[in-house]
Amino acid sequence: MTTDTHSKNKTVPYTHKRGDVSDNVRYLTDATDAGVAWVEGTRGRESVFTLRNYQQSWYYTETKKILGGALESDVLLRASIRRNAYDNQSEIRYEYWTGSSWETKQIIGVEGTPVEHVSYTTPLYRLDTEAFRKTADIVWDIARAYGDL
């Protein structure tokens, strides 16, 4: 594992660089404490992920392209999670692309979800990204309930 010197007293174990490919994952940006973006899946069934730390919050998005969705055309669906220091400033959104903008179908709080226990101060290399994935799975359950997946 390679390390980048983050400061005089701290090293950060980042190995994911833009263009790296592993286990059906292709990195779109280098992984840093500011975040990372990547694509998972096989051609035609790929999902785009972003995870970034901005304005004292972790922002996670997972975007899926549904081929021939309910309207018999391709549909983009997105799970958006903002984890702030406070539960009341954090939220989980289920969104869809209208062709010109993202529209929100459902907003829920973080209470009772895996991401509830994530701290915005945790650096990326120590962040439990599975908490974001498992919380996004709740959004995909909502999408199924609406008949969108």
Buried b (16+ CB within 10 A) or exposed e, 57-69: bbbbbbbbbbeeb
Buried b (16+ CB within 10 A) or exposed e, 42-53: eeeeebbbbbbb
Determine contact, residues 149/70, Cβ cutoff 8 Å: no
Determine contact, residues 113/94, Cβ cutoff 8 Å: no
Mean pLDDT of 33-62: 92
Considering the chain, what percentage of its residues have pLDDT values greater than 70? 87
Whether the predicted pLDDT of 32 surpasses 60 = yes
Residue 2: pLDDT band by 50, 70, 90 thresholds?
A: very low
Q: Model pTM?
A: 0.84
The residue count for the chain: 149
Mean pLDDT of 42-50: 87
- Amino acid in the structure at residue 14: Y
Q: Where are the domains of the chain?
A: 4-145
pLDDT at 1: 34
Residue 16: pLDDT band by 50, 70, 90 thresholds?
A: confident
Place of tokens 């490919």: 21
The mean predicted confidence, pLDDT, of the chain is: 87
Determine contact, residues 104/93, Cβ cutoff 8 Å: yes
